[in-house]
Structure 1
Amino acid sequence: SNIFYGWEYFTTESFMVKVKTLKTNPCIMKVKIKNKTENIRAVWMEKNVIQMIDQRKLPFELKFFNARNYNDVAFAIKNMAVRGAPSIGAAAVYGIAQAHAQKKDIKNAAKILRNTRPTAHDLFYAIDYMLKEIKSGNDAKNSAEKYVESLVNECRMIGVHGEKLIKNNYRILTHCNAGALATVDYGTALAPMRFAHYNKKNVFVFVDETRPRLQGMLTSWELLNENIKHRVIPDNA
């Protein structure tokens, strides 16, 4: 894939893992593409096109949703092609940056994106952040990248510290999806499990199916790509 720009070694206190990089940013989520394992993010921006893993297609096929304007981003959020508060926020900041680059009405773009999820506070915060950055004269694309990197770094630190709490042979129950798909990379609840797995700890994950949207299948898909042992269980089991 042409989105990757080389290899880096990513180090924490307890392990070192070789990851592919998107420009200078490490991507740790593993995805099997054409019999190869790639490191990728759930949402990113390349050449003014916002690309995201289309979560509506998972777990049966891997497809990418390409948003070429803020209306496309709004469609992706409203129709759950992108899910998870941090990933939605990332899509929104990229959408505002894209609208700014295309010399569109930023306030109108913000209004349309804001109306996609009336209760999504991360979305509102992301939009307000971008409006403030642009008003201050800061580069919109750089501001969007800074916002996304802050999200990713928070998840990385959850993984670094949370991994220490996981002992060998732990059994862990998850609900909904709190993995890299929902948070751009690493995940929140899933990050410590990823890091424990990288550190050669034996963990087994029970994945609630999470009705009615069945987000557990997204968690299962992520765990499968990481080769982490797990089972999906019905919510009423």
Structure 2
Amino acid sequence: MRRKTILEYETVSFDPEKRALVIIDQTLLPGQVRLLSLTEIEDIWEAIYLLKVRGAPAIGVAAAIGLYVAAEQIDTVDEELFYQQFKEKKKYLETARPTAVNLFWALEKMEAVVKKNRGKGVGEIKKLLNREAMQIHDEDIEVCRRIGEYGLKLLNSGDGILTHCNAGKLAAVKYGTATAPMYLGQERGYGFHIYVDETRPLLQGARLTAFELAAAGMDVTLICDNMAADIMKKRLVQAVFVGCDRVASNGDAANKIGTSGVAALASYYRIPFYICAPTSTIDMTLKSGSEIPIEERKETEITEMWYEKRMAPENIKVYNPCFDVTEKELITGIVTEYGVAYPPYEESLRRIFEKKFE
């Protein structure tokens, strides 16, 4: 009996029979593919916080479905009481990952459904919340496909592409963001060679990106993070494509720690560096990347997580930010579902949103 590949599973979905959020537990990949059916809001929060589900688009979809699952369990027909409990659950989920703006975007969209439909009864509001969560899920697939189409136009057959962290199918429902041009290129015979940074300290590149792209039949080479300069110097890379968790209105972008270093190297070697970002990841309320909150994670991710025995000295100080901010000057373009934004980003991103709402 043929085993399913990782590409045949949905990263995030809803099980209508169990009334559950279903995710792939990404902390177990690539060694084990396990689906988790989550019905309790504490488990949903933990799954987001512990990176069992991760990647900005996937976090947004999971948050929307998770909030709907939690709302279904509110046992009252009193609309005011329902709304108060709904807001408490929404506020709780907001604390799971402070940097990922998609989390807040999706939760705000869900709350807007409740506000807009006050007076229709709790039962009807729950149905509309389900519809909104499923629409967020379905739209993610189309948004990523469109990012892939725009990104593919920036590449040539046979190009070498470097990516950092995981902005792939496992970070979304399908296609991913930074990997969307790679998936479409694979379907159309472009013959890309993909270089994947392992991405310390959580190894999302080694565990996830290399895993899913290889499963799709792509030509993939895994490298340590500190090898990026070497392959750029040897002209093995013609473009860098990465995702992000939040973009400020001036074009500064927060992505997995190490991204800004890759961008600086690409600038030095004159290699185009692209951020792939759905508009739901662009926060036009922020003037610059200095306003983006950066999550700092547990020191054990560096000192002992991947080792049989602790590898660092006891009581050594550890600095473990989850993200860094790549300055706009290092970014060649920002690929969205409405086209590619180029500097000056204050103007081009504004035009992207005008196109979105026209």
TM-score by length of 2: 0.55
In structure 2, which of residues 223, 248, 251 is the aligned counterpart of residue 233 of structure 1? 223
Equivalence for 1:118: 98
1:35 is aligned to 2:3: yes
Please report how far the alpha carbon of residue 60 of structure 1 lies from its aligned counterpart in structure 2 after TM superposition: 1.2
SS of the equivalent of 1:52 reads strand
In structure 2, which of residues 179, 182, 192 is the aligned counterpart of residue 190 of structure 1? 179
Greater C-alpha Rg: 2
Inter-partner Cα distance in structure 2 for 1:45 and 1:167: 38
Inter-partner Cα distance in structure 2 for 1:132 and 1:148: 17
Inter-partner Cα distance in structure 2 for 1:134 and 1:39: 34
Inter-partner Cα distance in structure 2 for 1:145 and 1:65: 18
Letter in 1 for 2:216: E
* CA gap 1:159/1:58 in 2 versus in 1, 3 angstroms: same
1:62 is aligned to 2:33: yes
Please report how far the alpha carbon of residue 203 of structure 1 lies from its aligned counterpart in structure 2 after TM superposition: 1.0
Inter-partner Cα distance in structure 2 for 1:119 and 1:234: 25
- 1:29-178 maps to which residues of 2 (within 5 A)? 34-37=2-5, 39-47=8-16, 48-103=19-74, 105-137=85-117, 139-178=128-167
CA contact (8 A) 2:39 2:70 kept: no
Please report how far the alpha carbon of residue 110 of structure 1 lies from its aligned counterpart in structure 2 after TM superposition: 0.7
Aligned residues: 205
CA contact (8 A) 1:207 1:230 kept: yes
Inter-partner Cα distance in structure 2 for 1:133 and 1:78: 25
TM-score by length of 1: 0.81
Please report how far the alpha carbon of residue 102 of structure 1 lies from its aligned counterpart in structure 2 after TM superposition: 1.7
Q: Deviations over 1:101-145 (max 9, x none)?
A: 222621221121011112322111111110111222250000111
Letter in 2 for 1:99: A
Q: Flag the structure with higher strand content.
A: 1
Inter-partner Cα distance in structure 2 for 1:168 and 1:35: 31
Letter in 1 for 2:47: A
Letter in 1 for 2:71: H
Inter-partner Cα distance in structure 2 for 1:88 and 1:186: 15
- More deviation, 101-110/65-74: 101-110
Gaps of 5+ in 1: 1-32
Q: Deviations over 1:10-52 (max 9, x none)?
A: xxxxxxxxxxxxxxxxxxxxxxx95344633210101111111
* RMSD, aligned α-carbons: 1.6
Inter-partner Cα distance in structure 2 for 1:36 and 1:109: 35
Larger RCO, structures 1/2 (Cα 8 Å, 6+ apart) = 1
- More deviation, 157-166/181-190: 157-166
Inter-partner Cα distance in structure 2 for 1:210 and 1:82: 17
- More deviation, 151-160/163-172: 163-172
Letter in 2 for 1:101: E
CA contact (8 A) 1:166 1:196 kept: no
Inter-partner Cα distance in structure 2 for 1:214 and 1:115: 24
Inter-partner Cα distance in structure 1 for 2:99 and 2:183: 30
Letter in 2 for 1:46: D
- More deviation, 35-44/59-68: 35-44
Inter-partner Cα distance in structure 2 for 1:159 and 1:40: 20
Inter-partner Cα distance in structure 2 for 1:53 and 1:36: 13
Inter-partner Cα distance in structure 1 for 2:114 and 2:194: 43
Equivalence for 2:190: 201
* CA gap 1:148/1:116 in 2 versus in 1, 3 angstroms: same
Please report how far the alpha carbon of residue 148 of structure 1 lies from its aligned counterpart in structure 2 after TM superposition: 2.1
